[in-house]
Amino acid sequence: MSLDSLQTPCLLLDKQKLLNNINRLNNQLARFNVSSRPHLKTLKSVDAARYMLGDLSAPCTVSTLQEARQFAQAGCKDITYAVGISEHKLPEILDLQNQGVTMHIIMDSFEQAQFVHAFCRENDCQLSSLIEIDCDGKRAGIKPGDPQLIAIAKILQSAELFSGVLTHAGGAYDSHTLDEIRAMAQQEQAAVRDAASKLNKRQISCDVISVGSTPTALLGEGFEQVTEVRAGVYASMDLVMADLGVCQPEDIALSVLTRVIGHNKEKNWLILDAGWMALSRDLGLAPQRNGYGQVCDEAGHTLPGLYVNSANQEHGIVALPEGLDLSLFSIGTLLRILPNHACATAAQHAGYQVISNDEMDYWPRFGGW
């Protein structure tokens, strides 16, 4: 296998690291006998999904209708569309369901429940509906004690549309220690258990109790009453996960292959052919340490203290520390950049150069909505 034959910049995916990361989550959830519903939004690749799901017909999660279409076409039969539903998307959801896919939609308002109820009545159909629970005040959802919870569930139950509750612990990304992530995992689980309990007291049963974020999935314990766990970036990992302590930089399966294309001798800078169009503008959790991504050598070993300090559209700049000479990085030298946010970096590329031992493969990915 020779990376020298590749045009740069391009996206590398280390297959063994990918498999190690997938196995890590699978083994974690097996300890608690809880099911996985992997989120496929990061890699957006049918080839990668085969490894994440094991069987493409297995339950999965998506965040765009484009993902739902692509994975349904590949054979996925049980898909949660984990973004709040809007009325104009319902016809396409129904179209996917009419193709033999069980689609689950989520909502957090009575207004949404009303138009879903009306749509299903008008089209003589049923759409599995989940109420999104706010477990941390981070983004969407309603609190378990919100009176809307019962009202939404009742209107859905009246048409046999209600399936359960779902939450996402986005607050885990604000954690400073592993213990804080563990506490967030318990908070996440407690929120959906509380919501399910309140519904059960009104004779509204929850077949689905769904939680999920990569940090809380990997560090959570118990998972009592939880029926499924959704996580996505766990398969590739990134510097955000490393900064949280969820993984180590050497666990990150994604990197951008780049070449040195210039030297600024006055400032002791390396100029790379990977700018923000290849790396994304995401600065992650520690821009002062990682910039636009950590620098590795061609073999993927991190080079301590080196990161992409700044980026233009097609140029990345690495400021070498005092004592490190530009001559160590001749023009044409291959380097790898670890991404801050795997989802954002992967979105800049059409596919993955998959490296495995002495072999190389290409997995296409897709984008759009």
What CATH number is given to the structural domain containing 340? 2.40.37.20
Task: Answer yes or no: do 149 and 45 share one domain.
Answer: yes
Contact partners, residue 5, CB within 8 Å, separation at least 6: none
Query: Token match 């054979």: residue?
Result: 75
If phi > 0 it is left, if psi is from -120 to 50 it is alpha, else beta; for residue 334 that is beta
Task: Answer yes or no: do 177 and 314 share one domain.
Answer: no
Contact partners, residue 233, CB within 8 Å, separation at least 6: 42, 214, 240, 241, 342, 343
Residue 211 contacts residue 194 (beta carbons within 8 Å): no
pLDDT tens, per residue, the chain with 369 residues: 689 999 999 999 999 999 999 999 999 999 999 999 999 999 999 999 999 999 999 999 999 999 999 999 999 999 999 999 999 999 999 999 999 999 999 999 999 999 999 999 999 999 999 999 999 998 899 999 999 999 999 999 999 999 999 999 999 999 999 999 999 999 999 999 999 999 999 999 999 999 999 999 999 999 999 999 999 999 999 999 999 999 999 999 999 999 999 999 999 999 999 999 999 999 999 999 999 999 999 999 999 999 999 999 999 999 999 889 999 999 999 999 999 999 999 999 999 999 998 899 999 999 999
* Tokens representing residue 297 in the block: 């050598």
Q: Report CA-CA distances (Å) from 286 to 235, 236, 239, 283.
A: 21, 19, 9, 7
* Tokens representing residue 248 in the block: 């180590």
Domain range for residue 358?
3-10+253-364
* Tokens representing residue 278 in the block: 């290849």
Within a domain: residue 187? Answer: yes
Backbone φ and ψ for 172, nearest 5 degrees, come out as -60, -25
Query: Token match 């809307």: residue?
Result: 148
Report pTM. Answer: 0.96
What 8-state DSSP symbol labels residue 139?
Answer: S
The domain spanning residue 132 has which CATH number? Answer: 3.20.20.10
Within a domain: residue 229? Answer: yes
Within a domain: residue 240? Answer: no
Task: Answer yes or no: do 271 and 339 share one domain.
Answer: yes
